[in-house]
Amino acid sequence: MRKIAFVLLVIISTLLMAQTAFAWCKSCAVNYADSYALNPNPNWPNYYNDGGDCTNFVSQCLNYGGIGMDTNYTDPNKYWYMVKNIHNAWISGYPWIRAHESYEYFRTSSRTASYRYFINSYDWQSATSRPIPPNNNTSLNNSDIVSLDFTGDGRRDHNMIVTRQNTTDVYNSAYAGDLVNYRTSSPSLNRKHIIWHVKHRLSASELATTVVYAWGLNSTLN
């Protein structure tokens, strides 16, 4: 009897794990991003005064889209989570709130190994790989993540989420293509439906050191 109960428990646990793994919903993540790009969800903390809110926002979008948090809170360097502790204070893993740690987490985590994909990266001196701005602005999919390394030192500094395709930039009608939403260190700098590349938002010297990484989670698991 105990053996049967154990087998049933294993089967149920396997089914629950499968449901979690296949719960990714791109449109849900995009809808959340559109709802809270300009103003944060009051049910979550924000980091406007503590390094910027871009990755915290993207993490919320991914979580709302169905990516479950890690349940191990012992090492904030390794795990992706944002929860309240026994004192009702928010605690988080660095991959939830920091751009580089988030990129590395989703690049290497066994939890997303079967359905992550890396689109490509480029810089402004040798931009020979897709996607290449400004002549190829439509290589991305909704809910893809665009990670920016502003200094070219290999550490990602900013994360954005794709929310529109083949659409005109709300902030600059000269650009059309795939648009992103993001939050920053100030509500006045948050953006919704702006072109994914940063050509018209950075100076020539800033562009000279900027590297862009595009990645996402596979829609075949919706």
The DSSP result for 86-104, as a single string, is TTS-EEE-HHHH-HHHHHH
Question: In the prediction, which pLDDT does 65 show?
Answer: 93
| pLDDT tens-digit series, residues 13-65 | 333 333 344 478 999 999 999 999 999 999 999 999 888 999 999 999 999 99
Q: Tens of pLDDT along 142-161?
A: 999 999 999 989 999 999 99
What pLDDT shows up at residue 131?
Answer: 46
Residue 74, pLDDT above cutoff 50? yes
pTM as predicted: 0.84
Q: What is the pLDDT of residues 98-151, one digit of tens each?
A: 999 999 999 888 887 777 777 767 665 555 444 444 445 557 889 999 999 999
Helix axes 54-64, 99-108, angle to 10 degrees: 40
**pLDDT surpasses 90 at 213:** no
How many Cα atoms occupy the beta-carbon half-sphere of 162 within 13 Å? Answer: 25
Contact 115, 24 (CB under 8 A): yes
